[in-house]
Structure 1
Amino acid sequence: MDSQLDKGLPPSRLAMVVLWPSFMMAGVLEALIFAVVDPGDLWVSDQLGLSRQGCYTLVFLLLWLLVSIAAGISVLLARMPEDNEPGRRSAPHWPR
């Protein structure tokens, strides 16, 4: 597995690898959700006294957070330790 994730990308680049696709997916998910559900019917708008636009914003930010966490975990799991890095120990049967 010789990908860019193994080459040690800078943290800002890794952040964009996670945040940009999750931003796009949050937009898609929000469109799908609000195609079916009226934002005025959600408990969030009643409990917090939010307008429709406030409800759209809050749901979008929550979806972005959830998808970002999932994408971040995927990136962390995809990064594999280098065999020749000094001081790095790997499990004896690490899949390579």
Structure 2
Amino acid sequence: MQEIPLIQRFIAILWPSFLTSGVATILFFTAFDPQQLLMYTDFAEMSRLGAYTVGFFLFWILTTVTSALTCYFRQPCDEANHKT
């Protein structure tokens, strides 16, 4: 069986997580105003656009980790393959 190229594995993780983080950012900031969320923090002077950007990258990190874990855990175990 042919090995999947490394770049293709990275793209298989990053592209779906990018799309999912975009949707998550839209849904989150539709429900919550960034100015209200940041009002009582040290980042109160951050603009809405800055909050949207930080939120998007945080969602992207979260969804990248979950996509990577999904790809990792969907691989068959070596022990299970050798038992049969």
Measured against the shorter chain, the TM-score band is 0.7 to 0.9
1:16 to 7, 11, 19: 11
Structure 1 runs of 4+ aligned residues shifted over 6 Å read none
1:63 to 53, 59, 62: 59
Structure index of larger Rg: 1
* Pairs within 5 Å for 1:13-52: 13-43=8-38, 46-48=41-43, 49-52=45-48
List gaps (5 residues or longer) in structure 1.
Answer: 1-5, 82-89
Equivalence for 1:86: none
**Distance apart, 1:46 and its partner CA:** 4.2
Scaled by the length of structure 2, the TM-score of the pair is: 0.82
Q: What amino acid sits opposite 1:63 in the alignment?
A: F
Distance 1:78 1:56 in 2: 32
Q: Aligned-residue CA RMSD in angstroms?
A: 2.3
Larger relative CO (CA 8 A, sep 6+): 1 or 2? 2
- 1:45 and 1:30, CA in 2 relative to 1: closer, same or farther beyond 3 A? farther
